[in-house]
Structure formats: structure tokens, C-alpha cells
Amino acid sequence: MNDELAIEASGLAKSYGGVRVLGGVGLRVPRGSVFALLGPNGAGKTTTVRILATLVRADAGQARVAGFDVVRERRQVRRRISLTGQFAALDAAQTGEENLRMIARLAGLPRTAARRRAAELLEQFELTQAGRRLVGTYSGGMRRRLDLAASLTGHPSVIFLDEPTTGLDPQSRLTAWRAIAGLAAEGVTVFLTTQYLEEADRLADQIAVLNGGLLVAVGTAAELKARVTAQRLDLTCSTAGAFEQVSRLLADRVVHLDPAARIVGAATDGSAAQVRALLDQADPARDLVASFAVRGATLDDVFFALTGPTQEVAHV
């Protein structure tokens, strides 16, 4: 066992009714770091989290969390972790304060300590005012914040967050990000899953990309970005002929082609210098490109790059 690792897993496999969800996943998460498991719907993210959080038993493979085996030493693991699932796991008919107090009591705090902890967390997550209201009246962002507060209640050393910002509006997402960054600042290990590259980029020290139950890449955000395109320059061509020409001129920079809309997408870091250079390269006579847009790479682009057949063209 390695003391420096909060999570250590190898060969995790799981099938449901003959359908393989995980096909042998291994992970190493250092203590005190933020780890993001990035992947599309159905990639196996939730299953991985549930195995690590002792809720589901893997068909094969081993995992240790906070130094304990997730199957044989389940109780010890549970005492050191917390899990916040995709749905806000709170009682709508209890107030925020009541929810936190209940969770603190279940985590083993005596009555008065539970009350104190609930008040502390409400303050930390800027919910003191809302603490006396029923959770049913909260906005999505407030619920998420309370959910995150709940995950801290028992002073866990490892926190699992399953898609913590899915379904939130941009403003609430920012607030949730601040809250998650706050968790990391407390020194706990955070293991989160996400569908958003930007989220992983912002929060995580290490990112693992999961697709179809297998890890396709592991590394820091910078390392992954070196392998995939961080931004995409989309050029809308004036004619079908121009579309052909531009895609030929950009050659190995092309990461996206949409003939119907006459859009050619090229990998870029988004800097003005590079965008200018790309425009010159694509359109030397200045009559092929009608308009352009720079957009963040989507997860599709990442998978296109990491798993697609044109992997060789997908570098910055």
C-alpha cells in the first residue's frame, strides 16, 4: 500500500446484465489532489465512483480508498469518504440546517456538535440565510451548494462528486466551482466526474478520460491539451469550392469538417497571432473564408482526437 495515494485502483471491471460498463480501469490519485474523471454519458463514470465509494462491488479488480480495501474494509472506507451523487441527495421537506444536522448526526457527531457543524458549513457555503428554509424552495445552485456542504459534514478525507455541476446554469456553475476549489483547499482529496472539459481543466490536478469503460488518457490538463485541441477555429467558407480549397490548404490542422454548413475546423490555442496565421494559411487570397469563430474544444473534439481514426492530425 502506498501512503501517498488516496485512491489506488487496478483492473476494475463491471458488467450489468451482460453489458460491459467497465473493462479494466486502473487509477492512482495522490492525497490532497483533485482528480477528474472525464467522459461522455454512459462512459462508466458513475459506476467507477460507486465502486470506489463502496456502493457497488466490482466484478474484477481491486481498489483501496484512504488506505483501505473497498470490499474487505468497507466500513473503514465509509468512515473516511463522502459521496455526492448526480441528484441532490437532500430531503426537500427538511430545511438546509436540518439536512446538515441529520447528516452530521449520522456521521457520528453528538447533538450539539452536529448543530455547530451545520452552522459552520452553512456559513462557509453562504447559505446561513437560506438555512432555515425548506430545501424544496432552493434554486438548483443553492441545492448543489448544500449538497457540497453535506459532503464535508463528517470531515471526510476523500470526497466523491458525481457530475457536480450537471444541469446548473452558468452562474451556479461558477459558484459550485468556487465551492469545490474550496474543498480542495481544505486538504481533502476530491474525486469528481464530469462531462465538461472546461470543468476538469479548471478544477483538476489530474484528469483521466474514460470512454466506453476504458481509460483512453491520463494526465494533467496541460498534458492532455498537448494531445488534443484546446480551441477550435471554425471557418465558414463562401462556396463549396472554397470549402474544398480551405480544407486542402489547412491540411493536417483540420480537426472538424462540416460540408453541409461549409465549416472547416482547425486546432488552435486561440491566440490572436495563431488565429491570424491560420487565416492567412487557409485563405491567402482573402476570398475563400466568409466568417470565422473561435470556440472551446468540446468533449467530442477530445474524443475525436483521443479515440478517433484521425488521431495524428489532432495536435496543436
Q: Does the protein bind another protein through residue 102 (CB under 8 A)?
A: yes
Binding residue (CB under 8 A) for another protein from 26, 40, 85, 270: 85
CB atoms within 10 A of CB 125: 25
How far is it, in rounded angstroms, from Cα 33 to Cα 6?
A: 9
CB atoms within 10 A of CB 50: 18
CB 10 within 8 A of CB 62: yes
DSSP conformational letter for 73: T
Q: Does the protein bind another protein through residue 313 (CB under 8 A)?
A: no
Q: Does the protein bind another protein through residue 240 (CB under 8 A)?
A: no
Q: Does the protein bind another protein through residue 145 (CB under 8 A)?
A: no
Binding residue (CB under 8 A) for another protein from 28, 31, 79, 315: 79
Cα-Cα-Cα-Cα torsion 85, 88, 90, 91, nearest 10 degrees, comes to -130
- In whole angstroms, the minimum distance from the beta carbon of 26 to another protein comes to 23
Q: Does the protein bind another protein through residue 306 (CB under 8 A)?
A: no
**Which amino acid does the sequence have at 272?**
A
* Residue for grid cell 489547412: 250
Q: Does the protein bind another protein through residue 169 (CB under 8 A)?
A: no
The residue ranges of DSSP E strands in the chain, in sequence order, are 5-16, 19-30, 34-38, 60-65, 68-69, 81-84, 158-162, 189-194, 206-211, 214-219, 231-237, 254-258, 263-268, 289-296
Binding residue (CB under 8 A) for another protein from 43, 53, 197, 255: 53
Binding residue (CB under 8 A) for another protein from 2, 72, 91, 123: 91
Kindly determine how many residues on this chain lie close enough to bind another protein according to the rule CB under 8 A.
32
Binding residue (CB under 8 A) for another protein from 86, 238, 274, 281: 86
How far is it, in rounded angstroms, from Cα 223 to Cα 300?
A: 18
**Closest by CA position to 45, among listed 26, 21, 69:** 21
Region near another protein per CB under 8 A, out of 3-11, 52-60, 172-180, 186-194: 52-60
Q: Does the protein bind another protein through residue 103 (CB under 8 A)?
A: yes
Binding residue (CB under 8 A) for another protein from 38, 70, 83, 255: 83
Q: Does the protein bind another protein through residue 166 (CB under 8 A)?
A: no
Q: Does the protein bind another protein through residue 106 (CB under 8 A)?
A: yes
- Select 60 or 257, whichever has its Cβ closest to another protein: 60
How far is it, in rounded angstroms, from Cα 296 to Cα 177?
A: 18
Binding site for another protein (CB under 8 A): 50, 53-57, 75, 78-79, 81-91, 93-94, 98, 102-103, 105-107, 134, 150, 154, 160
